[in-house]
A = this chain, B = another copy of it.
Amino acid sequence: MHRTKVKVAEDALDANTTIANANRGDFDRAGVSVVNFMSAPGAGKTTLLERVLAELDVRAGVLEGDVQGSADADRISALHLPVVQLNTDAGFGGECHLDANMVRSALGDLPLGELDLLVIENVGNLVCPAEFRVGEDARVMVSAVTEGEDKPLKYPLMFRTCELVLINKIDLLEHLEFDLDRFLYNLDAVHPGVERMLVSARTGEGTEAFRAWLEGVAKRAPAAA
């Protein structure tokens, strides 16, 4: 007797994982390391990239994710790096994150074989971007001190899933009531001991360390096949 076996997908994110793995394979073959760069809107991701990418001693490219517009890609283009803008507004009202398939749709427009490092600047959002792997080697997030001390407790998955947390806009600390010790306590509560750097994209303070960190990630990639 013939029986049809139906396998139920265990995870709504299964399709995403499959495509993320395909991206991962392409990145490995090209010998490129990939950073998924995330934050809330206006935390300073693009300004931080402007600070560090020009001086990088590895060959970098950028994939910019936004609901609409190409303002960030235009800013990065001025650094004479390969950059592709992905707009997510084809989804209903605009997707709030990049997923593996969106990233995959852009890979053909990037010269992967000529890069050591690809930075994927995700849509500004502290929730969903953390739920979708895109084939990255590392996740980095930016939390601006203007956003308050409670953010790790309110968006724990994002803080837990990153291996580096950049605490940005420290030039404004003297004008805020932000309690840095309390923020760090909350950060350690959701991701004990995670690497963190105090930076100011505006003044450049602390951004050297981030640049060196990115160069280190770039050197993790296997040699191109």
Q: Which residues of A contact B (CB under 8 A)?
A: 12-13, 40-42, 66-69, 71, 92-96, 123-128, 130-131, 144, 146-148, 150-151, 153-157, 169, 172, 175-177, 202
Contact = CB atoms under 8 A, between A and B. Distances in A.
A29 to B, nearest CB: 30
B177 A202 contact: yes
Contact of A124 (B94, B123, B154, B202): B154
16 contacts: A40-B40, A42-B148, A67-B127, A67-B155, A68-B153, A68-B155, A69-B150, A69-B153, A71-B154, A93-B157, A95-B127, A96-B125, A96-B127, A123-B127, A146-B172, A172-B176
A143 to B, nearest CB: 9
Nearest to A12: B92
A134 to B, nearest CB: 15
B124 A124 contact: no
Contacts of A96: 96, 125, 127-128
A102 to B, nearest CB: 14
Contacts of A128: 93, 96, 128
Contacts of A147: 41-42
